[in-house]
Amino acid sequence: MTRLMLMLVMLMTSTWLMAQSFTLKGKVADEDGNALELATVSCIEQAAVAMTNLKGEFQLTLQSKDSVVVKFSMVGYKTRTRVLRNPRGTQTLQIQMFPNQELGEVIVTEKRRQTDQMEQLDLKDLKSVPSTSGNAVEEMIQQQAGVSTHNELSSQYNVRGGSFDENSVYINQVEVYRPLLIRSGQQEGLSVINPDMVERIGFSSGGFSAKYGDKMSSALDITYKRPKQFEASAMASLLGASGYVGTSGKHFSMSHGLRYKTNRYLLGSLETTGEYKPNFLDYQSYITYEPNSRWTLSFLGNISENHYNFKPKDRETSFGTMEDVKSFRVYFDGQEQDIFRTLFGTASITRHFGDSTNVKLLWSAFHTKEQETYDIQGQYWLDDTQSSENLGVGTYMEHARNYLTANVQSLKLIVEKKFLRHELETGLTVKWEHVKEQSREWEMRDSSGYSVPHNGQRLDLIYTLSSQNDLSSRRTEAYIQDIFRWTGSGGETFYTLNYGLRFAHWSFNNEAIVSPRVSLAVVPSWNQNVTLRLATGLYYQAPFYKELRDTVTVGSVTVAKLNNHIKSQRSLQFLAAMDYRFRMNNRPFKFTGEAYYKALSNLIPYNVQNVKVTYYGENLCSGYAAGLDLKLYGEFVPGTDSWISFSLMRTQQKMNGVWVPMPTDQRYAVNFHFTDYFPGTERWKMTLRLAYADGLPFGAPHRGLEGQNFRAPAYRRADIGMSYLAYDPQLTSRHLPIKSIWLGLDCLNLFGISNVNSYYWVTDVSNRQWAVPNYLTGRQINGRIIIEL
């Protein structure tokens, strides 16, 4: 009887408690109605907390009271509070969150917590940053941790010891290509990415997911924006101009961007004087059409025409030490004429099956026609300035007739499916490639009356190359990946697992590769501001064209043939990272630390001269890359975004049984990006960019990587830009049909540091070689105006 009474009391108590509890569920979205994942839903009084899933949905069990206070928060958004009066049963809430607003602009810092290896970069100050190349997106990438560049004229970059060719770039899920014959930063025009049309930038320096292609170092994921209303902007400076127009209707949107660049003014600061005539033009159009909620059609087109014409006149370079200064003087004759014409287009059709399933078919085509021709003769004198002794005198002549045409077409099918805790994606791509090349290069050196190398019987050239190749091939690529999110048993630890598999086959060498990749992010219960990330995977660098060119010397002529036994380079990567979000002086900050190790095999060794990468054409080496990247990002000044990054790295390869540094062995690098407003005003803005990076290994030409026993001086550069808000409707009584007018003044290479880009080697009569540095641009002033409608 007593036991029966006890059971009855327990049953009544349980029933009463259940009656006093209720279930709170709902969805959290941003101002555009897009789901916000990992937003925090909390009831502080009851010590209860939950986080939204991929669809922005949440569910929480709470005790009912007269009033229950529930808070909704997320970094970068205003915290919202809801008070529930005597809640019972199941309560459903639809919460819309809005970003913080300061200084009249939308300031969103680290909107989303990074739960994979793809970091989303902020675009807010992209237009006001001082720029040398005119390629603002790439210049932002060059300042990230683990990324390096040693040439402000180039948009190319190295990531954690990789070459320029190891970085994949995607625009709207389609991989894009660069011209193949580019050998110097002066020749580079505008990159394919138009900053005016960009909506989102995702960048990964390693450990990226399976949907990104077969490159070993990095992935850059660009998404172009779809205008929601009419918008336009125009920019003009001493280095070029650009214009952008975007418009939209109920079912239709389109945007157009036109850019022009000429770095003639900038090249005038080089030590080689002459007549520079570079002209670069780029036009892009992005059009989307949605007849209804089930279908989306889009088209992206790009036309790029780059011309580089140069007639050198003379050059004088001083180098050496304070006690031993050498002078190198050259008088030139001849000219260089280069043309790089690129066409790129992509069209897609997407079928939406509700909110959780999409099927997309994409077609893309890339065409490039490139011409590099030059005949340049130089008469040089090498002198010792202390003793006036002539160390060397002679003549050299360089000749090139290089022509290349490439066509790449692809067809890609993507299927995306979202479940409650899973985000599944799979894709299949077929590419058809055709590359046709005809090249002829040679170099002659005549030092003090005889040719180098000296034979006595005949006239030999120091360098000669002949190439005539035609390549047609097909690539088949497929991938499948899943993002799985779940919480721990206590409901306060959050996990995100990204795992996938990638397959590729190339008909040219009949090689098939399989690339497994996995990453895990953990938000621990002991600190919701900490994210721990681990990643590993087997990555491949599928050869395209330059890696295939294997040289064979017959007599005194070197011939480039395509090696159909070439294999993909391989990188086994291990990464461990931590993100820590915190507030200091009531301003948001984020600290990121990432350690990595890459075991490299089947490497194709290469040399780098300026930005030209010349491969050996064979899998000859193994190697490694290891390092540590640190980054502090936040509002150093209220309402602005700044960051500082610091990187340590060591990368080597084993060649002929000897360990030698990779050409990209940059042992340390520091980058600083700082933005500030002038005291007492919101009209004046200042942006400062600092870079300090270790010099790269180098050696005498045509002696192989084993002979790279020297290291160039460190790369040091400071750029500063001042921007003035000349017109803002909110700050004046005169209203014009203009959103804003910004006036800018930039000082490029603020301290006038002579950075070394490469070396020209001079041989004297005693067969000694002297490395004469080729310096980059000096200090220059650039003015600009930006008008937004």
194-212: per-residue pLDDT in tens? 999 999 999 999 999 999 9
Least confident of 31-40, 395-404, 750-759: 31-40
Helices (H), 245-388: 264-267
Which of 212-226, 391-405, 553-567: highest mean pLDDT? Answer: 212-226
State the pairing for strand pair 21-29/89-96.
parallel
Least confidently predicted of 74-83, 218-227, 666-675: 74-83
What is the predicted pLDDT for the residue at 659?
Answer: 92
Q: Which residues lie below 8 Å from residue 755, measured CB to CB, with a gap of 6+?
A: 150, 152, 713, 715, 716, 717, 775, 776
Quick count: other Cβ atoms within 10 Å of Cβ 460?
A: 14
pLDDT at residue 14 in the model: 47
Q: Report the C-alpha gap between 93 and 187 in whole angstroms.
A: 58
**Mean pLDDT, range 261-265, rounded to an integer:** 85
Average pLDDT over residues 646-673: 93
pLDDT at residue 632 tops 90: yes
Read off the pTM.
Answer: 0.84
| Type of residue at 465 | L
| CA separation for the pair 402, 481 (Å, rounded) | 42
Q: Evaluate the omega torsion of the peptide bond into residue 729 and state whether it is cis, within 30 degrees of 0.
A: no
The total of other beta-carbon atoms located within 10 Å of residue 732's CB is 10
Q: Are strands 463-487 and 450-451 parallel, antiparallel or unpaired?
A: unpaired
Neighbouring-strand partners of residue 697 = 711
For residue 705, CA distances in Å to 405, 618, 699 come to 30, 14, 8
Q: Which regions of 321-356 does DSSP assign to beta strands (E)?
A: 325-353
Length of the chain: 789
Closest-CA residue to 660 (of 696, 707, 692): 707
| Residue 160: both structure tokens together | 């954690």
β-sheet bridge partners, residue 414 = 360, 427
What gap in Å lies between CA 521 and CA 572, rounded to an integer?
Answer: 20
* C-alpha to C-alpha distance for 136 and 687, rounded to whole angstroms: 14
For the cut 80, the answer to whether the pLDDT of residue 511 exceeds it is: yes
Whether residue 31 is predicted with pLDDT greater than 90 in this model: the reply is: no
- Three-state DSSP class for 661? strand
**How far is CA 495 from its chain centroid?**
27
Beta bridge partners of 257: 244, 284
Which of 351, 368, 348 has the alpha carbon at shortest distance from 359?
A: 351
pLDDT digits (tens, 9 = 90+) for 299-354: 999 999 999 998 989 888 888 777 778 888 889 899 999 999 999 999 999 999 98
Contact partners, residue 68, CB within 8 Å, separation at least 6: 43, 45, 46, 62, 83, 84, 87
| 558, 561, 564, 570: CA torsion to nearest 10 | 60
CA–CA distance, 79 with 28 (Å, rounded to integer): 12
List of E strands, 563-620:
569-584, 587-603, 606-609, 612-615
Rounded CA separation 94/85 (Å)? 17
Q: Determine the pLDDT at residue 446.
A: 74
* Maximum mean pLDDT: which of 51-55, 183-187, 530-534: 530-534
Burial class for 246, CB neighbours closer than 10 Å (0-12, 13-18, 19+): buried
Average pLDDT, the chain: 86
Question: Which helix (H) or strand (E) covers residue 365, if one does?
Answer: strand 357-384
Give the whole-angstrom CA distance, residue 288 versus residue 286: 7
Of 475-489, 543-557, 667-681, give the lowest mean pLDDT range: 543-557
Higher pLDDT: 515 or 37? It is 515
Please report where in the chains the tokens 């005498």 appear, as a residue. Answer: 700
Q: In the structure, what pLDDT confidence band is assigned to residue 16 with cuts at 50, 70 and 90? A: very low
Check: CB of residue 675 under 8 Å from CB of residue 694: no
pLDDT cut 90: percent of the chain above it: 46
pLDDT of residue 123 exceeding 90 = no
| 486 pLDDT above the threshold of 60 | yes
**Is 247 in a helix, a strand, or coil?**
strand
Q: What average pLDDT does range 498-507 have in this prediction?
A: 96
Helix (H) or strand (E) holding 537: strand 530-541
785 has which bridge partners?
A: 236, 743
| Nearest of 92, 100, 93 to residue 74 by alpha carbon | 100
